[in-house]
Amino acid sequence: MKLENKTAIVTGGGRGIGRAIALTLAREGANVLISGRNRDVLETTASEIEALGRRAVTTVTDVSIESQVEEMANTALRQFGQIDILVNNAGVVGPTASVTDVNRTDWDEVLAVNLTGAFLCARAVIPNMVSRRSGKIINISSIAGKMAYALRSPYAASKWGMLGLSKTLALELGPHNIQVNAICPGPTAGERMQGVIAGRAKEMGKSVEEIERLYVDGTALKRMVDPNHVAAVVLLFASEVGDSITGESVDVSAGYAL
């Protein structure tokens, strides 16, 4: 039990990578608050956490709205008394289109959720972590935050921004014994990736099978990433094994675009 008596918040924790992270942390002893926009999905994952013998709390939260983020953090404090771990996983994929075809509304939404949301969540939990001189903030960026990503400019910009935010927070919070790191998944198996593939296929006039093959062939391992492998690196950062790691970004990408 690497996280016994610890409390974690996982945004976007109801499905995909977020669900895998929440369950991994619970298996290692953490009580978990999971947030997201879909209550039914959250409740299903919460039931899985409770089946592991851990406490689970859900909040319907849009991380781009400051008041909702503050209420999420306050709920965690009321329910658990402390916040040890924050995983900023909530995100939207945004449009698949050339820059000239991306409208301002879509651009603003992607940046608001993916980047501003991570900032707001971090800011909401930092006071409790500082007061206890202990905490872990783990930002789920993307391999798209380290490369050019044609037809996905808002998403790429938001994920590059998360890496800058992670390094800056690590520097600011280091004196308070708070570690901040980022993880950059590559193409990850699941519903969200299938949506990305479908959008790119439509934009490029290719079949879904062709686009999926392009993503797989772009990896060294010739396969999609397993969400549980991303969760395993979150666990490393969240546990005492990661106590001397901060300001870093780790690719969990199956060797994408090496």
Instruction: Tell me the catalytic residues.
Output: 155
Could you give the C-alpha distances from 224 to 12, 61, 90, 169, 243, in angstroms and in order?
Answer: 20, 29, 20, 30, 29
Q: Is 165 helix (H, G, I), strand (E, B) or coil?
A: helix
Q: Nearest 5 degrees, angle CA 13-CA 14-CA 18?
A: 40
Query: DSSP letters of 210-250?
Result: HHHHHHHHTSSSSSPBPHHHHHHHHHHHHSGGGTT--S-EE
Beta bridge partner(s), residue 56: 32
Tokens of 141: 């960026």
Can you tell me the distance from the alpha carbon of 233 to that of 229, in angstroms, rounded to the nearest whole number? 7
User: With 0-12 CB in 10 A as exposed, 13-18 as middle and 19+ as buried, what is 122?
Assistant: buried
> 3-class secondary structure for 11-70?
ECCCCHHHHHHHHHHHHCCCEEEEEECCHHHHHHHHHHHHHCCCCEEEEECCCCCHHHHH
Q: Provide the residue type at 231 as one letter.
A: A
The torsion defined by the Cα of 55, 7, 75 and 43, in degrees rounded to 10, comes to -40
Backbone φ and ψ for 103, nearest 5 degrees, come out as: -85, 160
